[in-house]
Each structure stands twice: as structure tokens, then as C-alpha cells.
């Protein structure tokens, strides 16, 4: 059975690149009727935090990614937090030590660097395997000094072949890999050791991760071999870059999933767009439902070249999904933004919801983010915030004169509908020698505070006669 995992460290909010890794694992598992596991790598004690784990789980769920086993739901191969598995790592490490596949190393970093310099190498050239063949007397002396050893894995002399599903065959020479630490002096496992033990015991069949981990793979393959464990198939995805083709970072704008949630993106838009980073269908299709992505996804169509994150395309895609959403859903999702903007301050009645939903329909084509809804429909509820440029341009003495004359015609409107209002205003223009723009613009700004918005007469109808007349009279 296909079993894949996403194994983040809870040291910050979920990054776009990590969300993409989780999504590709999820799609691959679902496509192959397999299992997707969430595993928390929290052995970086100083930087890991429970709040980040909670946020990570929330953000993954928001995107629409579901897992079959994990720290919040359990599973057959738990526990799913590394700090809850320390006894397992220590037991496996002890086994490798007894089998002569690992040894205790007592060297300090300063000693290793000094030996490298003495040998004419760079100080950070790596470990020289000096403790591999210590005598019992030397070990006893180090112990007497109170040194706390690390446990190092003995790297055998052989080439390591990685047959990567995305990158093809990559060969590494072990002579460039010094004996590496698997257990630290504080009794915690290193990343390399814990990840292999976990993948082995959790029966992971495919390891799908970023290409920055490709250089780690030889160590992992050696550890799988030492444990007599089946080696998973590896697939190393391309990196995610910013629009300027450098590694995605804060200088490119928001890089966390949480930031996009808080900006008002829809989860299905985010899910769809992230799936296109470094993967594509044969016909270059852009818009996919979750089910369509699961059906179409394959690792073989993942690109070797780096993926470029384009915020503008994500924004366009979000606008597309907003246009396809029901006004009922958009209102529900936008309520936190409407409250923050002071548009609403209480639970909405059915009548109030219907009113706001109709307002959203009038502006839905223009909305790109949920947080924009407050700007687009706020004036339907609260007094307009008048844009200074709009007032200076259209609510001049001439504009006020137009509104003063128009107010009488509007007051006499018996049937307050868009069609009736359009007829009245256009007749007013003809009878008084005004161009439509001379009347339409001052009227729009007077009732909405803005120069752009919904169709003028549909807007007037929805605002209702009382609000419109009150706002028109304000300027006459």
C-alpha cells in the first residue's frame, strides 16, 4: 500500500513551500488509494512550540488537506510526535551500536576544527572519523573527563544510488560523507536518524519532499540499509521561488498559509494554485476541483525546474472562485472582516443577511479577496466614507446644483426600482440639458462616497429610497 507522510517542525507558521509538499503527498496518496500521515518533528526543543503545531494543523485543514493518521487523530503506527518516541530512537540506536554499525564519539567541535586546520583543510571540512577505532582505554579516559559522547553512524565505503522519481538516477560517493551523528549528547536523535526510524516503523512507501533534501538522501539510504529496512521510493520536488527567481522569502510578501487565510483567500483557490507550482496537466489546465486534481496528479509530471510563486495569479484565481461562490457562503466567510471594519457588530437577522447577500451579488464581479467585501458593500449599511478626490471632482457647486434639482424628481418616484429610477434620471437629464455623466457621477458619489461600484440604478434600488434621499440632501 502507498503510505506517504508530511513531517513538519512546529517552529513557525506553515510556509507555502511546506504546504505544497503536504499537498503533493496528499494528492499522491489519494490518487493511489493510499494513506497520508501527518507527523510532527518537534525535537528542536528551543524553537518548537505547541501554538505552532496547533496553527499548522488548523492551516492544513483550512486548505482542504486531510490525513489518515496523525497526532490529533492517532493511528496504528503512533505516536506521531517525535518527542513521544524518544525511547524508540534510543533502542534502535543501541541496536546499531551493538551491531558495530555505530560508535560513541567524544570529540568536541573545537577539536574537530583544530584537526582539520592542522591537516590543511577548512575548519568546517567535517568530521575525520577519529573516534571510530578508539581503544577501551581511550574511551575510559574520555568518560573519566566527564565528556558526554554523541553516537555516530559508520559510513561504509560504497557508492549510494538514488533512483528518484522526479530527478532520475543520482549517484553519491560515500567518501564525501563522514561518519555522521545519529544521537546527540543530550540523548535526542538527529533529524537524519529520527526521520529514517520513523519512516521505517511507519511503513512509509514513498518520501516526497523538497529538492533541498536530496543531499540528505544518501545518509538516509545508508541508515535504511543498516536497519535492514525496505528503502522507500524518493521523489524530490523542485524549490518554490519568488517572482524574481530567488528563494521565496518575506521580501516577496506573505509566505505563510496563515497570512493568506487572514487576507481573505478562499481555501479552494489556495489548494488549486499551490497544486500548480511545479506540476501541470498535459493540456496546461488551470482550474481544477479537488477531485479533478486527485485524478490528474502524478509525480512523473512534476517539473525538475524550480516553481515560481506568482501572487498575481493566485489573486486572479481567488477572484475566479469568489465569482463562482454563492453569496450566502461569501457573506458567512466575510463576517470576521465585516466585524473588523465595523460594518456589523451583532448577529445578523435573516432579513439583514438577505440584504447583505444582495449587496454582495451587486459587487461580486469586482471582489478578489474576502477582506475587500467590507469596502465594496460597507456603504450599503453604514454612512459612506467619502473619497476626497471623488468629492473634489464631482460634488462641486455644479454637482450640488444638479443634486438639488434631481432630489425633487427622485422624491416623486413611486416605484423604487432600478428601471423606474433610470427612467426618471434620464428624463431629468433630457429636460434640463445635462449629459448623463453630469448627473450620474455626482449622484453615485453622494450616495456611495465612491466613483466606482455597482450599476448605479441597481445600487439605488438596493439602498432604498430613505437612505438615498438622506444622502442626496446632505449635499444640497
Active site residues: 250
The residue with cell 551493538 is 98
CA distances in angstroms from 29 to 25, 138, 276, listed in the order given: 6, 51, 17
- In 10 A of CB 424, how many CB atoms? 17
* Burial (Cβ within 10 Å: 0-12, 13-18, ≥19) of residue 444: buried
* Burial (Cβ within 10 Å: 0-12, 13-18, ≥19) of residue 109: exposed
Task: Tell me the three state secondary structure of residue 40.
Answer: strand
Distance separating alpha carbons of residues 336 and 359, to the nearest angstrom: 17
Give the 3-state secondary structure of 8-54: CCCCCCCEHHHHHHHHHHHHHHHHCCCEEEECECCCCCCCCCHHHHH
The residue with cell 512534476 is 302
Please give the backbone phi and psi of residue 202, each rounded to the nearest 5 degrees, phi first. Answer: -95, 5
Q: Where are the alpha helices (DSSP H) in 233-304?
A: 257-263, 267-275, 290-296
Here the cell at position 39 is 507527523
Pair 278, 240: CB distance under 8 Å? yes
Please give the backbone phi and psi of residue 323, each rounded to the nearest 5 degrees, phi first. Answer: -65, -30
- Of 370, 108, 385, the closest CA to residue 265 belongs to 370
Here the cell at position 59 is 492551516
**Alpha-carbon dihedral sign for residues 289, 292, 294, 299:** negative
Amino acid at each position: 500500500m502507498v503510505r506517504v507522510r508530511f513531517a513538519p517542525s512546529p517552529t513557525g507558521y506553515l510556509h507555502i513551500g511546506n504546504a505544497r509538499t503536504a499537498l503533493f503527498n496528499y494528492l499522491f496518496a489519494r490518487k493511489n488509494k493510499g494513506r497520508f500521515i501527518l507527523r510532527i518533528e518537534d525535537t528542536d526543543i528551543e524553537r518548537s512550540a505547541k501554538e505552532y503545531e496547533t496553527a499548522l494543523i488548523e492551516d492544513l485543514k483550512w486548505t482542504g488537506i486531510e490525513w489518515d493518521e496523525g497526532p490529533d487523530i492517532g493511528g496504528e503506527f503512533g505516536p506521531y510526535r517525535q518527542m513521544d518516541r524518544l525511547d524508540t530512537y534510543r533502542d534502535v540506536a543501541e541496536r546499531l551500536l551493538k551491531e558495530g554499525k555505530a560508535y560513541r564519539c567524544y570529540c568536541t567541535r573545537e577539536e574537530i576544527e583544530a584537526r582539520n586546520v592542522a591537516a590543511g583543510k577548512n575548519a568546517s571540512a567535517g568530521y575525520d572519523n577519529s573516534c571510530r577505532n578508539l581503544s577501551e582505554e581511550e574511551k575510559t579516559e574520555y568518560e573519566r573527563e566527564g565528556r558526554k559522547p554523541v553516537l555516530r553512524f559508520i559510513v561504509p565505503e560504497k557508492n549510494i544510488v538514488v533512483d528518484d522519481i522526479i530527478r532520475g538516477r543520482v549517484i553519491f560517493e560515500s567518501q564525501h560523507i563522514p561518519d555522521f551523528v545519529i544521537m546527540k549528547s543530550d540523548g535526542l536523535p538527529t533529524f537524519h536518524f529520527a526521520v529514517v526510524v520513523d519512516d521505517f516503523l511507519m511503513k512509509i512507501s514513498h518520501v516526497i519532499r523538497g529538492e533541498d533534501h536530496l543531499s540528505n538522501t544518501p545518509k538516509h539510504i545508508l541508515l535504511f540499509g543498516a536497519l535492514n529496512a525496505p528503502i522507500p521510493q524518493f521523489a524530490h520536488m523542485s524549490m518554490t521561488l519568488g517572482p524574481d527567481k530567488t528563494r521565496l522569502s518575506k521580501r516577496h510578501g506573505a509566505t505563510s498559509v496563515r497570512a493568506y487565510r487572514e487576507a481573505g483567500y478562499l481555501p479552494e483557490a489556495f489548494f488549486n494554485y499551490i497544486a500548480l507550482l511545479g506540476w501541470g496537466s498535459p493540456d496546461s489546465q488551470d482550474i481544477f476541483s479537488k477531485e479533478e486534481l486527485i485524478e490528474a496528479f502524478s509525480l512523473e509530471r512534476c517539473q525538475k525546474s524550480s516553481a515560481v510563486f506568482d501572487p498575481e495569479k493566485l489573486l486572479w484565481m481567488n477572484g475566479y472562485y469568489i465569482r463562482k461562490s454563492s453569496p450566502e457562503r461569501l457573506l458567512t466567510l466575510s463576517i470576521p472582516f465585516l466585524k473588523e471594519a465595523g460594518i456589523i457588530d451583532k448577529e445578523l437577522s435573516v432579513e439583514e443577511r438577505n440584504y447583505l447577500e444582495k449587496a454582495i451579488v451587486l459587487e461580486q464581479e469586482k471582489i478578489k479577496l474576502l477582506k475587500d467585501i467590507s469596502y465594496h458593500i460597507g456603504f450599503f449599511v453604514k454612512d459612506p466614507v467619502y473619497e476626497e478626490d471623488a468629492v473634489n471632482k464631482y460634488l462641486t457647486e455644479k454637482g450640488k446644483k444638479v443634486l438639488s434639482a434631481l432630489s425633487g424628481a427622485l422624491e416623486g418616484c413611486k416605484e423604487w426600482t432600478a428601471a423606474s429610477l433610470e427612467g426618471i434620471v434620464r428624463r431629468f437629464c433630457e429636460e434640463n440639458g445635462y449629459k448623463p455623466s453630469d448627473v450620474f457621477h455626482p449622484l453615485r458619489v453622494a450616495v456611495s462616497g465612491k466613483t466606482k461600484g455597482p450599476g448605479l440604478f441597481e445600487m439605488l434600488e438596493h439602498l432604498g429610497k430613505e437612505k438615498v434621499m438622506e444622502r442626496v440632501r446632505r449635499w444640497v
